[in-house]
Chain A
Amino acid sequence: EPEVTQTPSHQVTQMGQEVILRCVPISNHLYFYWYRQILGQKVEFLVSFYNNEISEKSEIFDDQFSVERPDGSNFTLKIRSTKLEDSAMYFCASSDPWGRTNEKLFFGSGTQLSVL
């Protein structure tokens, strides 16, 4: 089965630093997502991306966050100035809602971000 890949698997950063989390979605998918999961808590939606623009974003996704699809294959999440409370597992996902896999979201294995 095709996979969504995320790098790095772990990222440690100092508070106030910028981080970029990288994802390679499945190649023929059209929708891309970022979710996060704070340790022991629910999986929260951050943002969806379709047709080279943000489709929807949550209240969590404030001005410190941005997404980009720089080259047609990668999908990145940037946090401009990290805070302690940004420490979480960040999951990338992709889907092809109108294709063979229908509404299934394919998730990557996540990037564990630790802000010190």
Chain B
Amino acid sequence: GDSVTQMEGPVTLSEEAFLTINCTYTATGYPSLFWYVQYPGEGLQLLLKATKADDKGSNKGFEATYRKETTSFHLEKGSVQVSDSAVYFCALMDSSYKLIFGSGTRLLVRP
């Protein structure tokens, strides 16, 4: 079945550092891909999405590009802030309109 694999966390960075969180997927066809973020004590919020190959999703300085050749959707940000500390989930939408999540990557940004 469809699945999503994310890099293990936690990822600890200093403020203004460059962030990459790796995500790869296995799926039948070409699903839409998502990054969701979970801030401490809160629910899941959509951060960005991409619906087809070579699409780039972006929001709040975060970017991810849908790479069909490598079945990847890595999350990047050029300069992280303390307020970006959260758990980030990569996900795909399967053919029955449900999201399949990766295991999540905790990001801790230190001042």
Q: Which residues in A have some Cβ–Cβ distance to B below 8 Å?
A: 31, 33, 35, 41-45, 48, 55-56, 91, 93, 95, 97, 103-105, 107-110
Contacts and interface: CB of A to CB of B under 8 A. Distances in A.
Contacts of A109: 42-43
B101 to A, nearest CB: 4
B103 A95 contact: no
A104 B46 contact: yes
A93 B36 CA distance: 13
Contact of A103 (B36, B49, B101): B49
Given A35-B99, A45-B98, A91-B43, 4 more contacts: A45-B99, A48-B98, A97-B97, A105-B46
- Count class of interface residues, chain B: 20 to 34
A48 B96 contact: yes
B13 interface: no
A95 B96 CA distance: 12
Nearest to A48: B98
B93 interface: yes
Given A103-B32, A103-B51, A43 B101 contact: yes
Nearest to B46: A104
Given A41-B103, A42-B102, A103-B51, A31 B44 contact: no
Contact of B103 (A42, A48, A97, A108): A42
A48 B97 contact: yes
A40 to B, nearest CB: 9
Interface string B76-111: 000000000000010001001111111110000000
A92 to B, nearest CB: 9
Which 6 pairs from chain A and chain B are nearest by CB?
Answer: A109-B43, A107-B44, A42-B103, A43-B101, A107-B43, A97-B97
Nearest to A89: B43
Interface string B5-31: 000000000000000000000000000
Nearest to B44: A107
